[in-house]
Amino acid sequence: MAHKDKKTVGIKKQRKYTLDIGKLTLRRALMSKQAKVLTAQEIRRVLDYVATRPHSVRNRAMFLTLLYAMLRVKECASLRYADVLDAEGKIKSEIYLTAEQTKGRKGGTVFVSEKLRKELQTYVRAVPPKELSDKLFYSQKRPSEGWNSNTLCQYFHHLFRNCGIDGGSSHSPRRTGITNLADKGVSVRVLQSICRHANISTTQAYIDVNDAMKRKAIELV
């Protein structure tokens, strides 16, 4: 009986080792297919394109919310007016995301920059809520339900394709925001907290090191 127990434990350990290797392989594969980091020119191209299309106020606000707040697409799609508006109808300086709204079901605080507050205030003036429980970003096909993560992913896929930006995806604004902050000298530890990553290695993988960053670095020697 003891021999069987040892054999069972050995099999379980082997399975766990195999699963761990599988997770590591999958993670490396995902990292090798990182979303494109947008240049300043590409960001301007997106905003210029959006300005010429229907629902331009909403689409600009969605794009800049992902970029400035570095939200995941699921989090952006889940936002409701009550999440971003205070009792006086002004944009909050901090947005609290519940466990249901986030990846991994871990709630967290999103800090709202002054730039984003101005953009969202402009949007709310143009598209005021009927109820505070309404989704912040309406969908013309499902006005009462708004977007979900899949439809928002599809929207950004088509947006970047129409703008002629290869490799752009709904995750590009988040990764761009993280890389831009790293380029400006924000520490990885602070970025980890802003992005609500469980592991600092995840944050490090988001940062796209480019020639401009390396040139700045060598000037510090």
Structure tokens at 106: 């871990």
Q: Does the pLDDT of residue 32 top 50, yes or no?
A: no
Q: What is the mean pLDDT of residues 43-56?
A: 97
Query: Based on the structure, what is the number of domains in the chain?
Result: 1
Distance CA 186, CA 191 (A): 7
**pLDDT tens column, 202-221:** 788 778 777 777 777 766 66
Q: Is residue 110 part of a domain?
A: yes
Q: Is residue 35 part of a domain?
A: no
Q: Is residue 215 part of a domain?
A: no
Identify the weakest region by mean pLDDT among 9-23, 102-116, 160-174. Answer: 9-23
Q: Is residue 200 part of a domain?
A: no
The reported pTM is 0.78
Structural domain containing residue 93:
40-175
Q: Is residue 112 part of a domain?
A: yes
Q: Is residue 98 part of a domain?
A: yes
Q: Is residue 48 part of a domain?
A: yes
Identify the CATH number of the domain in which residue 163 sits: 1.10.443.10
**pLDDT tens column, 144-178:** 678 998 999 999 999 999 999 999 999 999 999 99
